[in-house]
Structure 1
Amino acid sequence: MTSLINSFLCIFFFIFLCHLAGIYLYGSGFLIASVQSQKKSQCNDPLMTNTLYAHLHPPELCWTTPLFKKTALYLVDALRFDFAFSTEYPPLFDNVTDPNNFKLYHNNMNVFNSLENQYPSRSSKYHFIPDPPTTTAQRVKAMTTGGVPAFIEISNMFNNPVILEDSLIHQFKENGLRTVFEGDSLWVDLYPNQFNNVSTGPSLDIADLDSVDNICDKALQQHQNASDYDIMISHFLGIDHTGHYYVTNHPSMKKKLIEINNILNRSLYSLPEDTLALVFGDHGLTEEGNHGGSTLEEIDAGLFVYDNRKNRKGGRKEVEKITQVDIVPTIAIGMGIPIPYSNMEH
């Protein structure tokens, strides 16, 4: 009887130790926290000022000569690839060719095809792939720092702690670029006192489909031909909220996509010369209107690049996949400022 009890205890403690080991491995692997460096890139960093590119193109401000006078960033929350672009360009997860199978969210945003047809050498479209978690706060952090937030940081999605590591927003201010922002108040939580002008609205009321987008529209019209900014950032929320409140294939989604298309059409065609415009989604949506995970529907966001320099040559006809954090060095080089220190991409 005693040996039976001893055997039972040994098995029990073995299983218990296996559970502890599993919890430890899970916590130290999947729930690992990202390490954030407080170091900032500087204009006089010798690693960059001594490059061949810097010698061939002597910088006017910092690491490189600016390619643009202004940059306009339009973050359209939950702009899935097939929401943005026509059914001629299939998303990664589906290929709908029969018009009888088109959904209400198909073929509503013609501003991109219009610009591409009119200015083929200045326009490009991309699959814009985020790293999970596909939650907005983590995506904004990734697209401004160039780093990849850890999955456990999803716990901060309603807390929005201030970002202290190096970022595009820090570099804009450090290098004297005037930045205006309109849209989701999340940005002001993450980057307080970093913007020259702010127009925001609440972000968590998913039943409110229009308030933040109306704020963006009004601010865009205010700044459109103004000389009071170098960087303009707009963050629309209506598509995301419509998906959450209804589903993706809903009449309200069609209405909202057309509305955003009209706002973008007015703004993109009115931008000052020598401006880089990027229209992009932070993530996609499932058909049920959710996001946060890593399904193809959630990670296949759209990106449209419009370079309105008259001397622009080239352009891409094929649709490529790029990772979201690639946007960070692209913007930094375009405006001639240092690439944030934590940037991990090309």
Structure 2
Amino acid sequence: MSNNRLIMIVIDALRFDTACSHMGFMQHLVEQGKVARYEVKSEVPSLSRPLYETILTGTPPFVHGVVGNGVIRLSTQESLFHLARRSGKKTAAAAYYWVSELYSHAPFRHGIDRIQLDKDAPIENGLFYFEDHYPDSHLFAEAQWLVSEKNPDFLYIHPMNVDDDGHKYTADSVQYRNRVLATDDLLAQTLPIWMDLGYDIIVTADHGMTADGNHGGNTMDDRHVPLFIASNKVKPIIQEQVVSQLQLAPLACHLLGIDPSEAMVPLLMPGLVDQ
């Protein structure tokens, strides 16, 4: 029976093919019948800030208006944080500061917004970093602190090191692939703990990364990302059908047991147990 609690992990710039070839622990969970694996096609432009907003609100850039990384303002949409709080659930985030700028305060105030503990805010407990090379290991430790000390119903985790190494060395590099291996190891250290606590888990990405060391375009390297789901509401098999990134927000609402916003598309993903 689901506890209607969810941890969503968005690994910045994780390509679908590299996730399949280099995330051995995640594939182990798939082979053991613990996790479902999907291929997701992101919205375009395949840029970070627009797709953070898409993942967390279920709306495309043309609707939410965050059409580039230079659009620095609060979201105009109802996010998963807003919806969860309205349903009486506790929220938390360990994430890049652009998430704070979308749902807490814009622009980000480095001396004030690094740690946000505000019971009246959409993100009730927020720990935000502002350097792309901020260690993912530190971020996962902070996420574990949030789980242990704040007991959120919805926790959003957003590591950046895969994206950082992709830009520095390209997706066709030892450094990028090794960073994906390192991220998989962090998941191996944390996911079993969180699953034992009764959390459903989503692991996905905002966009991919090209052999040019960039993203933003319309290629499979830019747009195709993984989606791993650990939940008794989802059949733990590999789904061959490519799904839209717009499905992630209504999926999260389904796993949390809350109503989606009116702006979200209907949840039509294959593999849901009760549909």
TM-score by length of 1: 0.67
- For residue 196 of structure 1, the aligned residue among 124, 136, 145 is 124
Q: Secondary structure at the match of 1:158?
A: coil
Report 1:103-252 matches (<5 A).
107=22, 109-118=23-32, 120=33, 122-150=34-62, 153=65, 156-192=68-104, 193-203=121-131, 208-209=132-133, 211-225=134-148, 228-252=151-175
What is the deviation of 1:304?
Answer: 0.8
What's the % identity of the aligned pairs? 21
Q: Secondary structure at the match of 2:217?
A: coil
Q: Residues of 2 paired with 1:195 and 1:123: CA distance?
A: 27
What is the deviation of 1:69?
Answer: 3.3
* Equivalent AA in structure 1 for residue 93 of structure 2: F
Question: What residue in structure 1 maps to residue 220 of structure 2?
Answer: 296
Q: Residues of 2 paired with 1:200 and 1:83: CA distance?
A: 27
Could you say what the CA RMSD is over the residues aligned between the two structures, in angstroms? 2.3
What is the deviation of 1:268?
Answer: 0.9
In structure 2, do the counterparts of structure 1 residues 80 and 156 end up closer, same or farther at CA, with 3 Å as the change threshold?
closer
Q: Residues of 2 paired with 1:246 and 1:345: CA distance?
A: 39
What is the deviation of 1:112?
Answer: 1.0
Question: What residue in structure 2 maps to residue 337 of structure 1?
Answer: 258
What is the deviation of 1:212?
Answer: 4.8
Higher RCO (CA < 8 A, seq sep 6+): 2
Q: Residues of 1 paired with 2:169 and 2:251: CA distance?
A: 35
Alignment of 1:323 onto 2:235: no
Q: Secondary structure at the match of 1:253?
A: helix
Q: 5+ residue gaps in structure 1?
A: 1-65, 87-106
Q: Secondary structure at the match of 1:137?
A: helix
What is the deviation of 1:287?
Answer: 1.0
For the 8 Å contact 2:14–2:207, the answer to whether it is kept is yes
TM-score by length of 2: 0.83
What is the deviation of 1:279?
Answer: 0.4
Question: What residue in structure 2 maps to residue 274 of structure 1?
Answer: 198
Q: Residues of 2 paired with 1:142 and 1:134: CA distance?
A: 11
Number of matched residues?
250
In structure 2, do the counterparts of structure 1 residues 300 and 313 end up closer, same or farther at CA, with 3 Å as the change threshold?
closer
Q: 5+ residue gaps in structure 2?
A: 105-120, 268-275
Q: Secondary structure at the match of 1:128?
A: strand
Q: Residues of 2 paired with 1:284 and 1:195: CA distance?
A: 26
For the 8 Å contact 1:278–1:306, the answer to whether it is kept is yes
What is the deviation of 1:226?
Answer: 5.0
